[in-house]
Amino acid sequence: MTPAPPTVPNILTIDVEDWYHLSGEQIRGQGRLRPDILARQLDRLLGLLARHDCRATFFCLGASLVNSPELVRRIAAAGHEIGTHGWGHQPVARIGLPAFRQDLLRSTR
């Protein structure tokens, strides 16, 4: 008897964060949060995933979604898994474990 071929899961993860987090630079306190852009791009992505009957895990950044928690609810309502991407997008190596722990805890409240 020939064994069944191995099943390879398709795993897709997505970071939900503002545009400036891509550069690794932090821009703070300058009113640069653009929830309208984040919402528009998120809707495009959710539509694409729905058309292909695909589910993903969305790692949400607290600082990007603090003023638009409905986006997180929209992701969950579409059947996707929600994870945390922390609060402030700070590298662990820069802030240390205690501060990283606090960052994660803040992101889940």
By CB under 5 A, tell whether 15 contacts Zn ion: yes
Of 7 and 23, the one with the shorter C-beta distance to Zn ion is: 23
CB of 54 to Zn ion, least distance (A): 21
Q: Give the burial string for 41-66 (b: 16+ CB within 10 Å, else e).
A: ebeebbeebeeeeeebebbbbbbbbe
> Which of residues 16 and 46 has its CB atom nearest to Zn ion in the complex?
16
Residues within window 39-98 making contact with Zn ion, judged by CB under 5 A: none
d(CA 61, CA 82): 11
For residue 80, the one-letter residue type is: H
Number of residues counted as binding Zn ion (CB under 5 A): 3
**Applying CB under 5 A, which residues contact Zn ion?**
15, 17, 21
